[in-house]
Structure formats: structure tokens, C-alpha cells
Structure 1
């Protein structure tokens, strides 16, 4: 049985609305993430797996988890208005990208609905460039835009292993807490108070576990390490994204299945923590 289908107009309060954001115009190296969303949903619904999560939550028992399909985008900033429509109906947006530039317009919408919003960001890269190749909306820059506009009160970045001098300066300027791979341990607590937005870039995983990304950066997490972090979270998650799966670089759909697994475990965590679902 597939995930229930819905339209934005039919969303109800506390629905978790999976929506594809097929946008990679601000990718700096390779195109391809715009093709990812339906392939990730296909992996979630694959007959090779089931809808149970590791703590025995059956997603088929939760019709409030729904797939809206790909958003229809004329330009980059349509993303903001689409997420705002989801929020207006009291639903929780779970955006499937797409490159990481989509997080900035999403946060513009989120910050209008939630004050004192914090971000938990999993990534190999800080994405804090003031601009890259002259593009201030590059997928290498979303968190610079978010923090300089005050769209988030706090940003924790996990799995970082590519900071340069410029991005370190940016992190210091914006008060970003960076948990890089050299200093990460399984005992590190990732919990934040208040409303939290979670942004997950697939390249936080070591490319041995997720080859289907544009930027291969060795020295990342195993899939099990990521799942343990997710399963330990105790957060009021009000919005999420999963980005930067590039099917053009995948091997036998391994990365799509990994993305599907991560989404299922994030959904399980939300369903277990919020009794309104």
C-alpha cells in the first residue's frame, strides 16, 4: 500500500506533508538532485522493504503522513509560498530536494510561522559561503542567508568536514555550533529547546554508504551512526528537509534506499514524540 496521496488544499492540522522540491538550479558542480524526489518516494514504497520502522511503528497506520507530489515551480522563490500554504493549514512540511539552496526559501516561510526557530543541520559542508561563483543563493550559501536575516536563533551543524577559513569566519560571525567529524562522538547531545527545523544533506554520509551525491567527501558517517542519532533525538520538529540526493551518481539505487530509510526513521521519531499525530 503506498503512502497516502494528498493536495495542499486537503491538508489537515498535524498532517506530515512530504513534498518534492525539484530544484537544482543553484548547484555549483553537477545537476541531478531535481530528479530525486519521486525516486525517493519510489524507494519508500518499494516491495523490497516494508513500512515498519525500527521501533515497530507501521507508517501504514498513519494516514496523516502523506505525499503531495512534486511542487510546481516557476522560480526559486515559489518554494517559500508553497511551504507557507502548507503551514497555513497546520501541517508539517517535509521537503524532499532538490539541492540545498531550497532550505533558504523554506526557512523564510517557517520563520513567519515560528518565532525562536532553531536548526539542526546534518552535512559534510557548512553551506555558509557569503556567495559562491557570484551566486548568493548557491547551494553553498543557504545558511549564510538564513542567519544574516535572523530566520533562526540557533544553528547546530553536524558532520562537517570541509570548512575553510571563510566559512569558519562565517560560523564565528553567526554563532554557529559546528560539530565536525574530527570531534564527533556518539555521546554528543543534539537536543535543542523550542521549535526545531531539521535539514539533512545526504552527503553527511560517507560516500561508501551514499554514493549518489554530487560532492563525494570521504570520512563521513555510516548509515547506522546516522540512524542512532535520529533515534536519540528529543525535539519539537516543526519542519524538515532531505536534500542533495543525485540519482545520476547512484549505484543500483543504494542512496535512494538509504534516503528512504532515513525519512522513515525521522517520521517514526516525530510520530513517537508528538501525541497529536
Structure 2
């Protein structure tokens, strides 16, 4: 017998880019711009429902489906304190029975999102990491150990994170040979953007869901630079050959019912064009909420 479960979501901002040691800073301004773009979407609610043209379906959208929990206690000069506050906020949302959606900020915030989810209860956590880069850097002199290049590395070291059930999507171009060695050592699967283009989104999502099926909880970590800069110019780095906006939205729609927390990072209003990227980020969140509100458990 299948049981339908209805979920509620909490939006959290983390206006911090102090760990953006490469590329362009400016993602500290993203939560405010994404929230502003959300207003354009949410005004389509009517009598507690919203109509999704993609699938020709209406969905429940009561007032408490998505609430804004405000910004985490960001400390501009203190990376450690900010990461701890972000983990605390994710953990608190989960303790309140809500699905946290953490808006960065730079991609160092992947780590506290994973930590908050991993520490929210017993069992294992799988991370589905969409990113142009691997973010598996251990440390170097310029970036230290917890920069935006190390979020997935630090997350993979958490006791409850099951690296063998985690995977990375939409990576491309070049990276450190040491990151390849770490991936192979830990059994971390990678599906590059080129493979997604060749195979299509649906077969890849089917693979992802089968891969994470053994984990107790799943984190969706979405760095906006997994999307091609033609579709998302407001990013911390530009890597051609990424996902289209349609592919990104479709991925999120398919994954949403299976995900227990989301962190969305690296939207950069300082490099954006007419809020194009902030708007895409807002739609990613909206689809995550609408399509992830109802889950079916066997």
C-alpha cells in the first residue's frame, strides 16, 4: 500500500561570499534578489492552488507551504561561525518538520547544508551535487580547507554521508588530478554535462534515483554554474557547455519528491543580466516546492 505524505518548506538565506576565493564575489546579494523574483511567481497562487503549465496540472499551494525563515546568522568576517549557523538553521527547520531550502551565498554552504541534514537524525545521507566543478579540493595555501572549492570534500567526510550513494552531475572541462584520485578512492560517481546532453535528462534522473535509493535522506546541492552561462550569466564562474534552463528545471522537478533538503548557491547579481539568473533560481525553488510537496511512500 502507498501512503501520500504532504510536506512543508522553509526558505533560508545565507548572504555570505567570504569563501569565494576564486571567480567573482557577489553571491552575498543573491538571497534578496531570489526572494524578489519569488514574488513574481507566488502572485499566481489562487485559492490555495497553483497551475503548472508544464504538466497541465494544478497543485496545492497553501499559505504555509513555503515560509520564509529569514537569513541565518551570517558573520561576514567569520567563515567558521557562518557555516555553523547555516548548519544550525538547516537542522532547526528539519526538527520543525519542514524541508529547508538554503539560498547562498557561495558554495562553501554545501557543507553546512549536508551537516545539518546528516545531524538531523540517524541513518545515511546521499548528496546529489549539481555543479560545473567537483569542489573536492582538500586545501591549498590561498583557499584553505572550507572554501567554495571544498564544499563537497568536507561534506563527504561527515560520518553520516554515504559517498558511495552520492553523485555529481553536470561537471565539465578541467579539474585537479587529485580530485579524480579522491573520487575513485571514495567511489563517488560522476555524470558530466556531456553525458546528460547525450543521454537526456530522464534516463540520467532514473540512474540518480536508483543510485541514491539506499540512503535514508538526500540533499540536493545545486550550484547555479551547472547551468550554461548562456542561460545563467549571473554566476561565480562561467563554464560553457552546461545544462540548459529547461534541463535544470526538469531535473529539479523529477528529483524534488525524493529530496529532504536543498541548497542553491553561487547566484551572483553582480554578473547577472536583468536578474535573469536570480529569476531562474526562483523558478528552481518554486518547482522544487510544488513538485516536492507530495511524496509517495510504499
TM-score of the pair, normalised by structure 2:
0.81
- Which one of 240, 246, 249 corresponds to residue 218 of structure 1? 240
Is 1:198–2:220 an aligned residue pair? yes
How many angstroms apart in 1 are the aligned matches of 2:252 and 2:220?
Answer: 10
Alpha-carbon deviations, 1:234-275, whole Å to 9, x = none?
753111111100000000111111111111111122113269
SS across alignment from 2:293? helix
Indicate if the aligned counterparts of 1:207 and 1:218 stay in contact, CA closer than 8 A: yes
Change (3 A) 1:228 1:82: closer
Give the whole-Å Cα distance in 2 for the aligned partners of 1:246 and 1:59.
31
CA RMSD after TM alignment: 2.2
By relative contact order (CA 8 Å, sep 6+), the higher-ranking structure is 2
> Could you tell me which residue of structure 2 aligns to residue 183 of structure 1?
195
Give the 3 Å change call, closer, same or farther, for CA 16–50 of structure 1 in structure 2. same
User: Is the CA contact (8 Å cut-off) linking 2:72 and 2:85 kept in structure 1?
Assistant: no
- Matching of residue 144 in structure 1 with residue 153 in structure 2: yes
- Tell me, yes or no, if the aligned pair for 2:108 and 2:150 is still in contact at 8 Å: yes
* Corresponding position of 1:94: 101
Could you tell me whether the CA contact under 8 Å between 2:107 and 2:266 is conserved in 1?
yes
Q: Which deviates further from its counterpart, 213-222 or 55-64?
A: 55-64
**Alpha-carbon separation, structure 1, partners of 2:44 and 2:292:** 19
- The number of equivalent residue pairs is 263
2:72 paired with 1:81: no
Do the aligned partners of residues 231 and 91 (structure 1) sit closer, same or farther apart at CA in structure 2, a change above 3 Å counting? closer
Unaligned runs of 5+ in 1: 1-12
- Inter-CA distance 38–134: structure 2 relative to 1 (3 Å threshold): closer
In the alignment, structure 2 segments of 5+ residues that lack a partner are 1-5, 76-80
- Residues 166/63 of structure 1: CA separation in 2 closer, same or farther (3 Å cut): same
Find 1:42's aligned residue among 18, 29, 36: 36
SS at match of 2:166: strand
